[in-house]
Homo-oligomer: A and B are copies of this chain.
Amino acid sequence: MAAKDQVKALVFDVFGTVVDWRGSSIRELNAFGNARGLKRDWDQFADDWRGLYQPGMEEVRSGRRPYTILDVLHRESLEKLLDKYEIAGLHEQDIQHLVTIWHRLEPWPDVVEGLTRLKRRYIIGTCSNANIGLAVRMAKHSGLPWDTIVGAEVARAYKPTPQAYIGTAAALNLEPHEVMLVAAHNSDLAAAAKTGFRTAFVARPTEYGPKKKADTAENTNWDVSTDSFNGVADAMGCPRI
């Protein structure tokens, strides 16, 4: 029996793997800028915002700060960038609109069909650093048919801390080897594999735009390696719709 035959649930990294955070946020930031007559380098603003993602979580992972949901971290990093980009005088409603850009990210084109196929045979959920409130609104916005939202907030730990994966499996009444992480990032898959998770790599070559190279599956040994969620569904024996 192949390792993947024991899998009962597939859980998904979200930012970059399920949704095109960069393209979606640049579109929203440009629309906001145009509506307000604010000319800024919004591509760079989006990259800078994402750049503050790991340092924000690291405060929690290191134990220097109690568990704090990602929406709060996104707001704090936004406030730093508004200062850096000299954008002043926004109303609370504008700030909320910008913070919730992360609730309205659009999926890659293969996502909804692939998830729909996988859902018929497996439990499917998130294993993201997104908080529940963020992930559930994104799901409604983009039609992502999760069975449930799990991941960091349920496990009270940010990836790649082992507890983020172990707690996700436990919340589903499963052992780590019964859960497969689907992700576009080798470091995420490597951390999950260390806890016993099965692994599926999905290449998202345009995640970071033209300037930064995305991960490839080269030199790694994941249980599945493909370039779409339909590829994952094929590998996991889910019939085409």
Question: Nearest Cβ in chain B — how far from A169, in angstroms?
Answer: 10
**A133 touches which of B134, B149, B171 (Cβ 8 Å):** B171
B171 lies within 8 A of A153 (CB): yes
Question: A71 to B171, alpha carbons, bound, how many Å?
Answer: 11
Chain B positions within 8 Å of A135 at CB level: 148
Q: Which residue of B is nearest A103, CB measured?
A: B173
Known: A140-B123, A147-B140. A134 touches B171 (CB 8 A): no
- The contact sample of 8 A-B pairs, CB cut-off 8 A, is A123-B136, A132-B150, A132-B154, A132-B173, A133-B172, A134-B173, A136-B147, A153-B171
* Tally of this chain's copies: 2
Question: A146 to B132, alpha carbons, bound, how many Å?
Answer: 13
Q: Which residue of B is nearest A71, CB measured?
A: B173
Question: Nearest Cβ in chain B — how far from A96, in angstroms?
Answer: 11
Known: A171-B133, A172-B132, A172-B133. A147 touches B139 (CB 8 A): yes
